[in-house]
Structure 1
Amino acid sequence: MDPMELLGTLGKKYSPDILRTAEEPASAQELSDELDIPVTTSYRRVEALNELGLLEDDEETSEFGEPGQSQTVYRRTVDEIVIRFDGTEMEIESIERETTTQPLSSVWDDLSRGIGGDD
């Protein structure tokens, strides 16, 4: 990830708000509505953040509207971005979101057992 490109994108109005809000999957239209920003700006910011790998298409929760039309939803891929300055060098570290591959029903079963279920 190019540090200058990252800083430039994060420095644009609404980019940090979009990243904060995209903790849960949302379309560019939904982000626009929730953050009260112009929809064209929302699409541009989402595209730039997606290209940097800070947002990802969440195909599992893509939404379908009118027949033949679908809305891509996006989700934040990082929980933290750390920028360090060391003399004339700049280092960027991103801490990715933890994801689980375990199905929700399995997680629920594990939790139920731990709370005094089947043990």
Structure 2
Amino acid sequence: MADFKILAKDSSFRNNILKALSDEYSRTILNFTIAEPKSVVDIVKECNVPMTTAYRRVNELKENKLLKVTGSIITDDGKKYFLYKSRLKAIYVVFGLESLDVQIVDNDDMGTSAYW
């Protein structure tokens, strides 16, 4: 069963979540990385996100603690790519009369990493 966490109204993490949800590319990246880690190259190819936008959004999401680096891969030609996974499995936003509540469910099946 999922453990819901209600975020404080003055929480910067809450504000970062709302900002990410308001951006189509950020929503796409978060959704695409829930189930398994993906590289920025995977995001570009499979989600049709422009390369510079993908790198910019991934960096923002990582800085705002919405994505985690879970590992890296090295291609045959020696290029190294980090793999990113969403820290959140679900986000619930409840908007009502004079209220805006944000509830989250952590992505618990992330395992452990030396990067976080």
Q: TM-score, normalised by structure 2?
A: 0.71
1:47 paired with 2:21, answer no
- Alpha-carbon offset, residue 86 of structure 1: 6.0
- Alpha-carbon offset, residue 42 of structure 1: 0.5
Looking at CA atoms only, which structure, 1 or 2, has the larger radius of gyration? 1
Q: Per chain length, whose mean CA-contact separation is higher, i.e. which structure has more relative contact order (CA < 8 Å, sep 6+)?
A: 2
1:26 paired with 2:47, answer no
Instruction: Report the RMSD for the aligned CA atoms in angstroms.
Output: 2.1
1:35 paired with 2:40, answer no
For residues 6 and 32 of structure 1, the distance between their equivalents in structure 2, rounded to whole angstroms, comes to 22
Residue identity in the other structure for 2:69: D
Aligned residues: 98
> When you count strand as a share of all residues, which structure comes out higher?
2
Residue in structure 2 matched with residue 110 of structure 1 by the alignment:
none
Residue identity in the other structure for 1:72: F
1:17 to 16, 28, 38: 28
- Alpha-carbon offset, residue 92 of structure 1: 2.0
Q: Report sequence identity in percent.
A: 26
Q: Per the alignment, do residues 35 and 25 of structure 1 end up closer, same or farther by CA in structure 2, a change over 3 Å counting?
A: same
- Alpha-carbon offset, residue 93 of structure 1: 2.1
Residue identity in the other structure for 1:78: L
1:74 to 84, 108, 112: 84
Residue identity in the other structure for 1:79: K
Q: Is the partner of 2:24 in helix, strand or coil?
A: coil
Q: Per the alignment, do residues 38 and 93 of structure 1 end up closer, same or farther by CA in structure 2, a change over 3 Å counting?
A: same
Say if 2:94 and 2:100, in contact at 8 Å, map to a contact too: yes
Q: Which runs of 5+ in 2 are unaligned?
A: 1-10, 112-116
